[in-house]
Structure 1
Amino acid sequence: MRSITKLICGGLLATAVSSALAADGQAIYQKGGSNPGAIACITCHGPEGMGMDAGGFPHISGYPAEYLNKQIHDFRSGTRQNPIMLPIANGLTDEEALAVSQYIASMKSPKTPEVTRAKKPEGEGETLALRGDWTRNIPECVVCHGPGGVGVGTSFPPLAGQHPSYLKNQLHAWKNGTRKNDHADLMGHIARALTESEIDAIAQYFSGLGK
């Protein structure tokens, strides 16, 4: 019985992998998915995946595929809310979502400087990024997002070099509850504790690391 179960599970896994491979991630990124609602990612995120600050569209090239795929599913479920991404996420099949996530992850991303907590912070944004404010139970950003906000694993995305408008929009989304796809409301707690000037300072700090 165990052998049969292993064969079945192995067959299902092979089918999922082959389905993902059958979907062309590059074509989806550049031309859109099979459903007309899933418009091409290049429309908002640009040919190199660098996004557009003026429109609030984030830089996504080089982000972990697992993280990107999860965000697509979170837009579907409503734990992330965005009127542009909702129809796209709903229009993509699971195989297309995985394939385009893998393609975006393979795209080159600019190198950013590594800034450790050993650096003496200057200014409000860098102080919160490197030291936090434990009098208000606000941990330093780099404790989760890594030195200089380069990103850690598949759960904590890069912050360095991200557009300031996007960073500010996401902190506001965590703060007002329109984004709630983190573990144990960690980001919600942090965002609600930040003032508007602190949100702006953090966004400007991490954005500047990619310049």
Structure 2
Amino acid sequence: MMGSYPQWLATGLLGLVWSTFAAAAPPPEAASCAACHGAQGQGMPAANYPRLAGLPAGYLAEQLQHFADGKRQNAIMAGMAKPLSPEAIQTLAAYYASLPVPTEAAGSPPEAALLERGAWLAQYGDLAKGVPACFRCHAAEGVGVPQHFPPLTGQSAKYLADQITAWQQGTRRGDPLGLMQTVATRMSAEDTQAVTAYLAAQKPKAAVVSQPGQGGGQ
């Protein structure tokens, strides 16, 4: 009986049992995801693999489908997504959405001028160029709005810049009303560098914004 064990051992056993049941077991399909995106979905900024942890489940499922049908063109991810059943896609999306948001920024603060320009674009945009603020769609501090507007913080500058380029070149599609493709085509290389460097230097936070009938992202 538990009462026959020393108090420290009983407490430890209870903690182990609780943590075993409290932590969601990764689905089998997540084993191949972890090789690039990290054991906790935290991403690998140095290798340009994005974080998945805490992204909205609806967004993750949608992107896996886009990789499978070619709306997002990436040879590695297409090969990973195409064999997945609809059920497996939903399972993976729910699992990664349930993981805790990383607490560390994906990059270091850039030089002052770049940081200032990037912060301005993220918060206010550049109306003269027809570029809205990033936070207008992706919510204050870039935490994202389920399901179509993902978090921006917690991703590396290179990954974010690569996505802007993909929108510009048409190798990434599927955004609501073509918003990101339109915005991306109006962004200069300098502004892309500034805003992505700024976003990567921000510590990610859990999203608290949700649409009616949807849960907020983690």
Shorter-chain TM-score tier: 0.7 to 0.9
Q: 1:91 aligns with which of 74, 83, 89?
A: 83
Report which structure shows greater RCO (CA 8 Å, sep ≥6). Answer: 2
**Pairing 1:106-145 to 2, within 5 Å after superposition:** 106-111=98-103, 123-145=116-138
Aligned equivalent of 2:69, options 64, 77, 82: 77
1:151 aligns with 2:157: no
The match for 2:26 is: 26
TM superposition score normalised by structure 2: 0.74
CA apart distance, 1:65? 0.7
The corresponding residue for 2:167 is 174
Give the gaps of 5 or more residues in structure 1.
1-23, 32-39, 114-121
Q: How many residues align?
A: 173
Kindly indicate whether residue 49 of structure 2 is the aligned counterpart of residue 57 of structure 1.
yes
- Which residues of structure 2 form unaligned runs of 5+? 1-23, 106-114, 205-218
Match of 2:180 among 152, 177, 187: 187
Pairing 1:41–2:33 present: yes
**Matched residue type, 1:69:** A
For the aligned residue pairs, the C-alpha RMSD in angstroms reads 2.1
Give structure 1 regions of 4+ aligned residues with deviation exceeding 4 angstroms. Answer: none
Aligned to 1:105: 97
Gap change, CA 1:70 and 1:25, over 3 Å in 2: farther
1:155 Cα deviation after fit: 1.2
Give CA deviations for 1:6-31 in whole Å, capped at 9, x if unaligned.
Answer: xxxxxxxxxxxxxxxxxx97133443
In structure 1, the residue corresponding to 2:82 is in which secondary structure? helix
TM-score (norm 1): 0.77
Work out the percentage of aligned pairs sharing the same amino acid.
36
Whether contact under 8 Å (1:28, 1:96) holds in the other structure is no
